[in-house]
Amino acid sequence: MITKIMKADEPGVVESAAEVIRAGGLVAIPTETVYGLGADGLNESAVAKIFEAKGRPQDNPLILHISDASQLESFCEDVPPVAYELAEQFWPGPLTLVLKCRDNVPKRTTAGLNTVAIRCPDNTITRAIISAAGVPIAAPSGNLSGRPSPTTAQHMIEDMSGRIDLIVDGGSCGIGVESTILDLTVSPPRLLRPGGMPLESLEKIVGHVAVDEALLRPLSAGERPKAPGMKYRHYAPKAPVTVLTGSADKTAVYIAQHAPLGAGVICFDDFSNAFPGRVIQTIGRSGDLLSNAQRVFDALRAFDSTDVMEIYAQCPDETGLGLAVANRLKKAAGFHVISL
């Protein structure tokens, strides 16, 4: 298959993408978080193609993307009032809600669960594509399964060229980490994945949020997290990663002392000269959590085209967007974390 690439501002892009979706094909769509690999979320065979293109395990459900909060009712039932409050406040935006699903959502999309993850992305072109297609778009992150999520069209080309019909190039993603996933089928609501919407912002509306165990530590054999995707090795470059937490000054000293020459280092811009002889990827200044989020997946990915044998990473504080960035780094490291 030849993968067509269209710029998001090219004439006809919305209609072309919508046509591919309606015909049961696959389109890479830009969102504010990461690129998604989209198909008609109500079409079983189209959804099956997503799993095939990514090499994704069948038991890992997909997020349904809608173009307007009013569509929530079409695919979810027993929607609690707080879901509407969150949608009103944060959609379009980087928040995914897990709700009880209606029978019209295929089992392939939900991986057989009786719940569905749903969000309205903050990207005008992608919402226009959803509207024009007339169906919700099921889309996981567009990476090959296990690889860091794509935040540019170039990343999409690397992973999906020849496997999908169309890539819509919307430039770099503004947030750079995936949406926050909140399960509203339990009380208190449960955070299944930290992401682009800070936990602190959600708690202002829903009160206390329980944090899923799978976010905090590696799972033991046979343990089943609530978000099936959280059990898989993720985001990982080929070389093993060690994450350093603690003050940026301390972690820099540790890395300078322990990282061998030729090792990879993911560091804040302020420390880019602190590791001579190592292969550096910077993720924005220390404390600039949005830059850290925008850069983290590209930094992890970049090492795959080098011959580094191991990677050391400075980790931001776990407040605001930092919780999501730290989670992605720790998952990439298989929770190999040294706290200083």
Binding site for ligand TXA (CB under 6 A): 31, 33-34, 36, 60-63, 96, 98, 110, 113, 115-117, 121, 139-141, 178-179, 181, 192, 226-230
- Least distance to ligand TXA, CB of residue 166, Å: 15
- CA angle, residues 36, 28, 235, in degrees to nearest 5: 45
Rounded to whole angstroms, how far apart are CA atoms 207 and 200? 9
Burial of 254 (0-12, 13-18, 19+ CB in 10 A): middle
- Least distance to Mg ion, CB of residue 181, Å: 11
**Which entry of ligand TXA, Mg ion, none binds 192, CB below 5 to 8 A by partner kind?**
ligand TXA
Count each helix (H run) and each strand (E run) in the chain, helices first: 11, 16
**Is the Cβ–Cβ distance between 138 and 49 less than 8 Å?**
no
Element (H, E) at 115: strand 115-119
Nearer to Mg ion, 128 or 144 (CB): 144
Cβ-proximal residues to 73 (8 Å cutoff; 6+ apart), any chain: 79
**Which entry of Mg ion, ligand TXA, none binds 98, CB below 5 to 8 A by partner kind?**
ligand TXA
**Which entry of ligand TXA, Mg ion, none binds 194, CB below 5 to 8 A by partner kind?**
none
**Out of 31, 67, 115, 141, the residue judged to bind Mg ion by CB under 5 A:** 141
- Least distance to ligand TXA, CB of residue 334, Å: 16
**Which entry of Mg ion, ligand TXA, none binds 63, CB below 5 to 8 A by partner kind?**
ligand TXA
- Least distance to Mg ion, CB of residue 16, Å: 25
Element (H, E) at 22: helix 13-22
**Which entry of Mg ion, ligand TXA, none binds 227, CB below 5 to 8 A by partner kind?**
ligand TXA
- Least distance to ligand TXA, CB of residue 81, Å: 20
**Which entry of ligand TXA, Mg ion, none binds 61, CB below 5 to 8 A by partner kind?**
ligand TXA
> Among residue numbers 193 through 252, which ones bind Mg ion (CB under 5 A)?
none
**Which entry of Mg ion, ligand TXA, none binds 116, CB below 5 to 8 A by partner kind?**
ligand TXA
Half-sphere exposure for 303 (CA within 13 Å, toward CB)? 30
Count the residues of the shown chain that bind Mg ion, applying the rule CB under 5 A. 1
Strands 210-211 and 166-169: unpaired
- CA angle, residues 76, 110, 213, in degrees to nearest 5: 95
* Chain centroid to CA 81: 26
- Least distance to ligand TXA, CB of residue 329, Å: 16
Nearer to ligand TXA, 54 or 278 (CB): 54
Return the DSSP state at 178: P
Applying CB under 5 A, the residues found at the interface with Mg ion are 141
